[in-house]
Amino acid sequence: MSRNPSLYRIDGRRVPSVTEVLRIAGLVDLSAIQRDVLETARQRGQSVHTWIDGMNRGLLDGTPQEEEIAGYVEGYRKFLVDARVTVEGSEVQVVSAVYGFAGRLDLLASLNGDPWLIDVKATAAVPKEACIQTAGYRIAHGEKRKRGVLHLHRDGGFALVAHRNDREDEHDFLACLRLVYLKLRLGLAALED
């Protein structure tokens, strides 16, 4: 494993992460967003994810001191209660040796008794490619589960956005992965090391 926890290796070979697959395939383009805005959003998202993971592991409780993330954490707490959530895994590393990619999914949980795979977003809107992202995580995880995005809101609200086109989304992810490996082979893209 690399020093950067978001860089993955299978049998010593560097493989793309789920998010790298989406970016290199061209589904994610943040070039029109100012760097300082992106960095602020990245830091906020990282803080929210760290706090949620700490809650899930029983290491954090209460309200975060950082006002910037307090509403998002409150939204997560409401989600846990309203959906009768049993957390089964938090920040779970998944690897597909068969297809040659890996990633870290945010949440494996039971919601009202149903098994789910969930990506948590603290963004202004749910990205359109999120359904392809959760399909990649599910392929690597290997277990059939409902999947979706938990969209946390700054004001303490939340929305669970279900992804329903399982087969189509999985095919789309694998098509993106194929394109990424083609770009890598032709030298049109490179993986960070």
**Sheet architecture: strand order including 114-121:** 85-96, 101-111, 114-121, 146-152, 158-163
Predicted local confidence at residue 191, as pLDDT: 94
Q: What parts of the chain have a pLDDT lower than 70?
A: 1-6, 62
Domain for residue 68, yes or no?
yes
Does 24 fall in a domain? Answer: yes
3 domain residue, yes or no: no
Q: Judging by beta carbons within 10 Å of its beta carbon (0-12, 13-18, 19+), is residue 95 exposed, middle or buried?
A: middle
Confidence at residue 4, expressed as pLDDT on a 0 to 100 scale: 55
Q: What is the pTM of this model?
A: 0.90
pLDDT of residue 3: 40
The span from the CA of 72 to the CA of 22, in Å, is 25
Angle (deg, nearest 10), helices 18-25 and 130-141 = 140
Task: Tell me if 149 is assigned to some domain.
Answer: yes
Is position 115 within any domain?
Answer: yes
Give a yes or no: residue 113 inside a domain.
yes
The answer to whether residue 37 sits within a structural domain is yes
Instruction: Give the C-alpha distances (Å, rounded to integers) separating 106 from 90, 141, 182.
Output: 6, 12, 28
Say which residues have a Cβ less than 8 Å from residue 52's Cβ, sequence separation at least 6.
73, 76, 90, 106, 107, 120
For residue 5, the model assigns a pLDDT of 55
Query: How many domains are contained in the chain?
Result: 1
22 lies in some domain: yes
Q: What is the pLDDT of residue 64?
A: 73
pLDDT tens column, 47-79: 899 999 998 988 877 677 778 888 999 999 999
* Pairing, β 13-15 against β 146-152: unpaired
- The enclosing domain of 13 has a CATH number of 3.90.320
Dist. CA 183–CA 179, nearest whole Å: 6
User: Domain containing 159: what range?
Assistant: 8-185
